[in-house]
Amino acid sequence: MMTFKERYGPWAIVTGASAGIGAEFARQLARIGLNLILVARRKQRLDDLARQLEPASQIQVKAIAADLSRPDFLPPLWSAIGHLEVGLLVNNAGFGLAGEFLDHKLEKELALLDVNCRAALILTHAFGRQMAQRKRGGIIFVSSVSGFIATPFEAHYAASKAYELFLAESLGYELKKNGVDVLALCPGSTDTEFHAVAGSRSVAAMPAAPVVELAIKKLGRQPVAIPGWHNRLLVYLLKFTPRRLHTFLAGRVMGKLTAE
């Protein structure tokens, strides 16, 4: 049986690696022995993380500054990566916008669409083709439990996570014949910078470490991983209640969490 490194190495790309779940993916994949390509806007944070990981885990790390909301992000990223063999892609980059949809600037909503959906689509298409040709590889989409629930006051974010969830599940079926494993990781509230950026309050936030541990454990074993028993229970109960009730309850909760 192949080890994780043999199946998904020698290089892994982690987007949104400057903080939170992305940085934790970098730390845990480094301990496994994968070389890393870290992608985010904040180059200094990536460089700092690289300096920590390289000597500690005896791996190579490339830190690449890129704004995934830009329509032309791929060519310079592709050039920087060169001929490195990427066996694992972690589509982690993303952000949310909480509050009334019509109160947000359209430019911010379009940036959310580009980062959460368009960039993940482009990277998956580009590196997924290489993996399929080699008949091995893995792709992780960091979705959310919000992808299961229409969520007022976080409408576009929830829609973007449903997009990632459905894309991951569908591609998992398609790419299985090519030896490529695809996982939708669907955490709930996690102790990261997400809520500060989105403008909401966190409730029962999990640490990032067990979220990433579950993803690494479940990749290649199941199509969807939901960290935390309370999040798994929530998704299970959704099967037995009307969708209109989901939306109503989500709206009441989010309305309180985003209130001034």
Catalytic center residues: 157, 161
Q: How far apart are CA 149 and CA 244, in angstroms?
A: 10
Q: Where are the beta strands (DSSP E) in the chain?
A: 11-15, 35-40, 61-65, 86-91, 137-142, 180-185, 224-225
Residues 6+ apart with CB under 8 A from 183: 138, 139, 140, 141, 168, 172, 215, 218, 219, 220, 222, 223, 224, 225
3-state DSSP call for residue 65? strand
In 3D space, the residue among 146, 72, 161 whose CA is nearest the CA of residue 113 turns out to be: 161
In 3D space, the residue among 211, 215, 213 whose CA is nearest the CA of residue 184 turns out to be: 215
- Tokens 């290489």 found at: 130
